[in-house]
Structure 1
């Protein structure tokens, strides 16, 4: 009896011995104009100084800085020095041991400046710029889009050929009579094809975009959006090619640079930051593709017209083709790293899978190019079979480019709506728009049986399944007047809500919901989801 009495008396003091955070700097959810120089966590009692961790993660869940956490002399304050932080949403994660050996873990977020919106499929949606709702830019390949895809392939083929021919006319060394005749024979038909294809391309794209909207919306499309203005410039440049063909090599090179620049500014690259770098990479990539495409077509045409001159031109082309492929490879890899948070995203959408297919084709191009260069350096004519294989590979690559420049590199984030009916409780979870780093709205509705009564307490935590080493992020739910709630016979409902960046980075997440009943029974529900 004496032992039992002593244990009962000691239980409250033992329970209160666990360390609890009294102050956090920055505070939970704090918005700061400038990043802090350090993180400080103050506990109500001393913690173990040599055990545990404190780290800060950026929007990609990567650790910020390399400093080690430091414990104060009294053992109650844990701090971590930080480098200069850019604008963004940051996650503080702590895992320490209190003096009694009890683990204390958790995570919270704070915000620096006015972070840019996280990039997902919605950022590529032109309807958003026009104020339209209910339209999502495609992330998939649909059969109904066949005509649109065919038109885009034709557009890219005409663009690469036209720009490539004009670039070659500016850089070709000692252009002989045969090469000049072949080039001039191709230039005018290519210019006509480009103008027709651009007009059809813009018409089909615009009508698809404006489907279901009045004609007045076309003025907004071409006057208020960067893509619409880019389409107008494409038409102007395609029409201007005819007089440019009568000018010298400098004017031809300027035209090629302008039309490739317009295409670069209208693509996926403009969505990412720093925009100047991504657009420049896209331009370099297109320029390399144009030089390779235009040079290959010239070589094939010259091979049929003058085999001897084809041999001479093949040596120059093989050098330029090698340089072009190298430039395309480097710029393509760099853009992919800019576009995708990780290389795993290559498997999430058709865009990534098509990029993998394109990469495989480029490897085959390198093999064919090496064989051609080997023949040329031995003084032999390039075999027609290899040239045809190279041309076929080029056509396949252009076809892939025409399609995957229309679909988005990233998946679309869909709002979370989870509903579960059960004997012990009903619940509904909503998370919208479910974008990492954004101020998402969290709504949790729970219904308990009437004989149990309303929940005594409700908690919800976000747990990163990609980073199990991180503590859970508490979502500060508060009751609100819910006009949409449903009623279930024999159940009593509660509605709770929170808003904030409690999903600080993309990945797989688990929403953990804990309900304490009036009888102090605990009900735990978990739901897994992901965002991009």
Structure 2
């Protein structure tokens, strides 16, 4: 017993050091990864438009083109072109070509101001909306504030979606985590009617969460209210999307898993076929959660989806196991022997889940945040920091429980018994060796001591596990909010690097490459490269660059340029006065008779 207490003391001293080391590694990984992460787009942003924002055209265009940082879909969204009186002048047949949305216009548009409003769905299932305007002939520019609020998400829909996701996450923890606990740590729990009800409720919650998310995705993408959840057009648009298919598949998988688990509960224990079938269905369910939203957008989607799947699986195994402990062996009427037998294997399972959560959480954070500035200046970053703080609290609570289990219920491996030569006669007789009475007595005494310790500390353990579970449910809620929040990368300033056609009276004549870094309020560095139709640098007779913010009626502001080589001009220290959607226009005179323009818009936050 003295040796047992001494060993427990060593464990109690080592555990806090291990936790601190783990947290230090997490900080180093996060700092190094965020600081060195390459640029990435995990949420579509408008790059350029044709016509450009605020452009004045001599002839009416035949179409409007919007180019985004990544592929988008119209889905339940819309793209509209309105004249100054608010009447639509597009043909209503917009098409998506990769990262471009092309909106055909009616022919023979009169001289007027035109307003383009759009709401498209990015690859991560989030809507992207905005507006810009242009002028044909002598018309007046239509202010973009005429479309203010048209692209906003309905507040009720915006609040209901995270709630539906949280319901699905919590249900997944019960539907998968509790059976994993029973398989790995407490086989006797298959006879528990309470745990059966918990798993059944979890399956129902997963199905309900998936159905609600499917119904709400249409109004979310379209910017409409709850009254449109049954709109056939919105339902069809959602069903045609990868996001919608994933949620419908999730409902089918839940039904299949319910059939497998029903057979297990009826028999009282799982067969090998049940375990294999249930594992496949559980993995597929986790996959439907990981393969939607942020992981499928941006670079290295396969790695991101894999990391997300491991992250989700680790969380549901941990939280579901905690819920199973509270509903099973931690109840007063449960046998103390079951508690002593179940806690050590679950403690090891939880430790593995924690390691997986930390590693995959770092991978996801580096990918979605991108820079230390984004971590503290965006909604996504602040929610992530709140989640990280709660996870650290969760790790601390779990550490306390794990140290107790190691001290009181850890079992040293006994020295293996010497091999005995097995003769053919003995093998045929199938004789079992006689158990050593001394070993059996010692094992029984140890089991009694462990059961007594578990029974004495059951109330304290129950409180500790309850704290872990409560904090874990809040972490799930923050995760549900993060899923619906544009990544931090998309909310901070992103350098502009685009190639634009030079529009002349006779059509396109060459191109201009524009680079603005960092595309933020204050000083910026501008590079302009002018190329001819053959892609060679060309020297213009004259060049002018201006900045305009139409919504705030700022500009045009002339940008001072310095030549830096053939066809290359630099605006070092170009000042952007403040946040907004800015238009950078380039006007070039190619020769005495030919002039052209090119423009692009970029957000400044």
**C-alpha spacing 1:437/1:318, structure 2 compared with 1 (3 Å):** farther
Partner of 1:337, secondary structure, is: helix
Counterpart CA distance in 2 for 1:143 and 1:183 is 37
2: distance between equivalents of 1:374 and 1:175? 24
Residues 71-91 of structure 1: per-residue CA shift (max 9 Å, x gap): xxxxxxxxxxxxxxxxx9xxx
Q: Which residues of structure 1 form unaligned runs of 5+? A: 1-59, 65-87, 89-116, 416-433, 444-459, 487-491, 497-501, 516-528
Matched, 1:155 2:154: no
1:219 aligns with 2:247: no
For 1:234, the equivalent position in structure 2 comes to 250
| Matched residue SS, 1:306 | coil
TM-score by length of 2: 0.50
Q: Does residue 135 in structure 1 map to residue 119 in structure 2?
A: yes
More helix, by proportion: 2
Residue 162 of structure 1 aligns to a residue whose secondary structure is helix
CA displacement at 1:124 relative to structure 2: 8.9
What is the Cα deviation at residue 407 of structure 1? 1.0
Residue 407 of structure 1 aligns to a residue whose secondary structure is coil
Contact 2:343 2:405 (C-alpha < 8 Å) held by counterparts: yes
Q: What is the correspondence of 1:483-522 to structure 2 with a 5 Å cutoff? A: 510=575
CA distance in 2, matches of 1:370, 1:196: 34
**Partner residue in 2 for 1:473:** 527
**For residue 324 of structure 1, what is the aligned residue in structure 2?**
353
Task: Determine the C-alpha separation between the residues in 2 that align with 1:342 and 1:154.
Answer: 31
Give the direction of change, closer, same or farther, for the CA distance of 1:461–1:331 in structure 2 (3 Å limit): closer
Change (3 A) 1:463 1:442: farther
Alpha-carbon offset, residue 276 of structure 1: 0.8
C-alpha distance in structure 2 between counterparts of 1:207 and 1:273, whole Å: 28
Distance 1:179 1:389, change over 3 A: farther
Whole-Å Cα distance in 2 between the matches of residues 125 and 160 of structure 1?
33
- CA distance in structure 2 between the partners assigned to 1:366 and 1:495 by the alignment: 54
Q: Is the 8 A contact 1:285 1:327 kept in 2?
A: yes
Structure 2: stretches of 5+ with no match in the other structure: 1-33, 46-68, 80-117, 121-125, 129-151, 265-273, 409-452, 504-513, 531-539, 551-555, 561-567, 578-583, 587-601
Contact 1:166 1:253 in 2 (8 A): no
How big is the shift at 1:469? 13
CA separation of 1:300 and 1:342: change in aligned 2, threshold 3 A: same
The residue number in structure 2 matching 1:21 is none
Which one of 400, 407, 410 corresponds to residue 485 of structure 2?
407
Q: Paired residue for 1:343? A: 372
8 Å CA contact retained: 2:171, 2:202: yes
8 A Cα contact 2:41 2:489, kept in partner? no
Partners of 2:491 and 2:399 in 1: CA distance = 43
Q: Match for residue 184 of structure 2?
A: 172
Question: Structure 2 CA distance, aligned partners of 1:297 and 1:261?
Answer: 22
Question: Does the CA-based 8 Å contact 1:118-1:436 persist in structure 2?
Answer: no
Aligned to 2:308: 282
Q: Does 1:437 align with 2:497?
A: yes
Change (3 A) 1:149 1:177: closer
Return the alpha-carbon distance in structure 1 between the equivalents of residues 519 and 309 of structure 2: 38
CA positional deviation for 1:242: 2.0
Check the 8 A contact 1:284/1:327 in 2, yes or no. yes
Distance 2:517 2:216 in 1: 45
1:470 Cα shift? Answer: 11
Please report how far the alpha carbon of residue 273 of structure 1 lies from its aligned counterpart in structure 2 after TM superposition.
1.7
- The answer to whether the Cα contact below 8 Å between 2:307 and 2:364 also exists between their aligned partners in 1 is yes
With over 3 angstroms needed to count, the CA separation of the structure-2 counterparts of 1:186 and 1:276, relative to structure 1, is: same
Q: Distance in 2 between matches of 1:263 and 1:395?
A: 17
Quote the Cα distance in structure 1 between the aligned partners of 2:373 and 2:236. Answer: 40
Corresponding residue to 2:285 among 245, 250, 259: 259
Q: Distance in 2 between matches of 1:141 and 1:293?
A: 32
Distance across 1 between alignment mates of 2:35 and 2:524: 10
Q: Do 2:496 and 2:518's aligned partners in 1 also have CA atoms closer than 8 Å?
A: no
> What TM-score, normalized to structure 1?
0.56
In the other structure, the counterpart of 1:315 is 344
Partner of 2:387: 358
1:485-504 Cα distance to aligned partner (Å, 9 max, x none): x9xxxxx99999xxxxx99x
Residues 464, 510 of structure 1: 8 Å contact kept: no
Matched residues, number:
355
How far the C-alpha of 1:238 sits from its partner, in A, is: 2.2
Q: Quick one: distance in 2 between partners of 1:319 and 1:63?
A: 33
2: CA distance, partners of 1:143 / 1:217:
18
Q: Matched residues in 2 for 1:121 and 1:286: separation?
A: 25
Q: What is the distance in 1 between the residues matched to 2:37 and 2:248?
A: 45
- Residue 334 of structure 2: aligned partner: 306
Matched, 1:189 2:201: yes
**Does the 8 A contact of 1:167 with 1:252 survive in 2?**
no
In 2, the alpha carbon distance for the partners of 1:62 and 1:369 equals: 32
Report what 2:217 is aligned to: 205
SS at match of 2:496: coil
